[in-house]
Amino acid sequence: MPLLARYIQFSQTGGPEVLTLAETTLLDPGPGEVLIRQTAIGVNFIDTYHRSGLYPLPLPSGIGQEAAGVIEAVGAGVVEFAPGDRVAYAGGGQRAAQGGECGAYASHRLMLANGLVPIPGEIPDEVAAGTLLRGMTAQYLLKRTFPIANGMTVLIHAAAGGVGQIACQWARCLGAKVIGTVGSTAKAELARAWCDHVIDYTQPDWPARVRALTGGRGVPVVYDGVGAATFEGSLDSLALRGTLVSFGNASGAVPPFSPGLLSQKGSLYLTRPTLGHYTATREELLDTAADYFTVVARGDVEANIGQHYPLADAAQAHRDLEARKTTGSTLLVP
Ligand code: NDP
């Protein structure tokens, strides 16, 4: 039977005010699809890039990458999941565009089953919805993009943020000493719980502090989701032949530069990874999610939900995220 879903959509790119609440009719799930009643929705920085047009989408569009919920119905050929199963997704599983298509900011959603992961019994829906995308990101950054070795000192930017909190805790579990950066005194207080050293990167010459903490050598790796504002400082914080893992643009995209810069700064390496390429196969997706859920269930990583908003207040959630007011992960409640 057709179902009326509430969802957030936008018809033009711009500020948070372009996000509006709408309703659409969802049909029964087609072959390979499931219908999910969503219980919690994650708000990620990438959603602001879609809304602003930095990462363009065909318009009008739904918005959002991540949610958790309960399967209400399955389409033909779905054998991995059944009605009543708790599932989550982070990026994958979008259907081919067709009428009534929502993003993750929705009360209900039709998804391809092969983009979903099962939620283990000990993981609450809120944690899966609010942190799966960030947790899987931390997994591939720390274990596969530049694998952390025991005893390394690493630099992780925006240590009080969503990815930052998870990555700092996980890096320490892998044996690293963590230098975390933050943009305010209040966030520094918070980040001290999971960093060995905290630096306020709004202060001038913060890379000199990184050098001072590493005997003048610099760090072998910087994980940088801040982008334009920290790019140069991140390069200046690296040891000879160090690696900059540039994985986001919270302050804006890194401007074009000459590769010669990497030579001048110490024969450095640069990579610009994205989660989809590290969860490209079904096996990679399931393994990455399971690895994340395991460290949370063990208590090695505490997945902190810093803010909750009603679905209809998605614009306010974006405002707060972009104004650097949030800590940890952010949830919309349908
Ligand atoms: P966060 O919760 O970390 O929020 C972003 C943080 O960045 C802010 O809280 C702020 O912390 C810091 N920041 C610094 N400068 C600015 C600025 N000018 N405007 C806004 N924030 C700023 O967000 P997420 O955890 O959702 O994402 C973190 C980063 O990781 C984002 O860049 C995101 O795009 C990226 N990402 C990349 C993925 C990938 O696979 N490549 C996957 C997932 C996320 P402070 O106040 O302490 O400076």
Expressed in angstroms and rounded, the spacing between residue 274 Cα and the centre of ligand 1 is: 14
CATH number of 3-129+279-333: 3.90.180.10
Question: Is 0.90 surpassed by the pTM of this model?
Answer: yes
**What's the CATH number of domain 150-272, 3.40.50.720, 3.40.50.150, 3.40.50.1820, 3.40.50.2300?**
3.40.50.720
Six token digits for residue 83? 């009605």
Measured from CB, residues less than 6 Å from any atom of ligand 1 are: 44-46, 133-134, 137, 158, 160-164, 182-184, 187, 225-226, 229, 247-251, 273-275, 321-322, 324, 326
Six token digits for residue 248? 């986001």
Kindly list the domain boundaries of the chain, sorted by start residue.
3-129+279-333, 150-272
- Cis bond leading into 60, ω under 30°? yes
Task: Centre a 10 Å sphere on the Cβ of residue 91 and count the other Cβ atoms it contains.
Answer: 20
Task: Report the candidate in 38, 34, 44, 202 with the shortest Cα–Cα distance to residue 131.
Answer: 44
Cα-flanking dihedrals φ and ψ of residue 36, to 5°?
A: -110, 130
Q: For every one of its 334 residues, what pLDDT tens digit does the chain have, with 9 covering 90 and above? A: 668 899 999 999 999 999 999 999 888 899 999 999 999 999 999 999 999 999 999 999 999 999 999 999 999 999 999 999 999 999 876 765 544 478 999 999 999 999 999 999 999 999 999 999 999 999 999 999 999 999 999 999 999 999 999 999 999 999 999 999 999 999 999 999 999 999 999 999 999 999 999 999 999 999 999 999 999 999 999 999 999 999 999 999 999 999 999 999 999 999 999 999 999 999 999 999 999 999 999 999 998 899 999 999 999 999 999 999 999 999 999 9
What is the predicted ipTM? 0.99
Expressed in angstroms and rounded, the spacing between residue 7 Cα and the centre of ligand 1 is: 24
Strand partners, 111: 34
Residue type, 173: C
Task: Centre a 10 Å sphere on the Cβ of residue 318 and count the other Cβ atoms it contains.
Answer: 25
Contact 123, 39 (CB under 8 A): no
Domain 3-129+279-333 and domain 150-272, same fold? Reply is no
